Amino acid sequence: TVTACASLARDAQCHVGLSLPRRIEGRFQISFIVVAPDGSVAGAYEKLHIAEFGASQERGYFEPGNALLVFDCGGMRCSRIICYDFRFPELVRHLCLNHRVDVILHAVAFARDATFASWEPFVICRALENQVFFLSLNRAGEDYGHSILCPPWIDRHNAVVRFQAEERFEVLDLDPERIAACRADFPFREDALEEYRHLKPNGVDGA
């Protein structure tokens, strides 16, 4: 699989990403591999958060990873997370603030279960609170679909891009100037405290 993607990357002169289960040092993990335009492996990421609710029963089969993946592509810094990972704002915040990530690439396999309706709001929230592009790609099919690209800011000139359920090829233009303009106009990331855990609540018995 990686060999085929390496050939595709060389032919198209672009980065290619693929998600697959891998056995690493005797442990099965949910992985995402990025292949560079020269066909070399640019990096790999193993899903940090293993889901165990609803249709997702992963803990009996997979173990979590313990590292991040950050790489440069087209003049922008990108990172990859997998499915359940996006429900943890601390992870995305760490990538964006401490590793200067501009684009979050999010591979998912969301079926139309009880969590499906909350998927889009989570994507929009992660993009806007971190002022990054957030591309969340679901598998195609009647029971899946509806991938989404959220820009770093939403207004009448910048809209969320939503896709349907069928498989299709799309070319998306992610302009780094949109990120720079958004952060210049709304510099609230600069106002974030470095640490919040030291703050104590006021009130009786800390309530």
Domains, the chain, ranges and CATH? 2-187 (3.60.110.10)
Q: Which two three-digit tokens encode residue 8?
A: 């595709």
Question: How far, in Å, CA of 26 to CA of 47, rounded?
Answer: 16
Strand runs labelled E in the chain: 16-24, 27-35, 41-46, 52-53, 56-57, 70-73, 76-82, 103-107, 133-137, 148-150, 161-162
CA dist 65 → 15, 52, 112, 150, 184 (Å):
22, 16, 27, 26, 35
Which ranges of the chain have pLDDT less than 50? none
| Structure confidence at residue 24 (pLDDT) | 87
What is the per-residue pLDDT across 7-34, written as a single tens digit (0 to 9) for each? 999 999 999 999 999 998 888 999 999 9
With a pLDDT cut of 70, the percent of the chain lying above it is: 98
CB-based contact 69:42 (threshold 8 Å): no
| Structure confidence at residue 203 (pLDDT) | 74
CA dist 60 → 8, 54, 115, 189 (Å):
34, 14, 21, 39
Strands 133-137 and 148-150: antiparallel
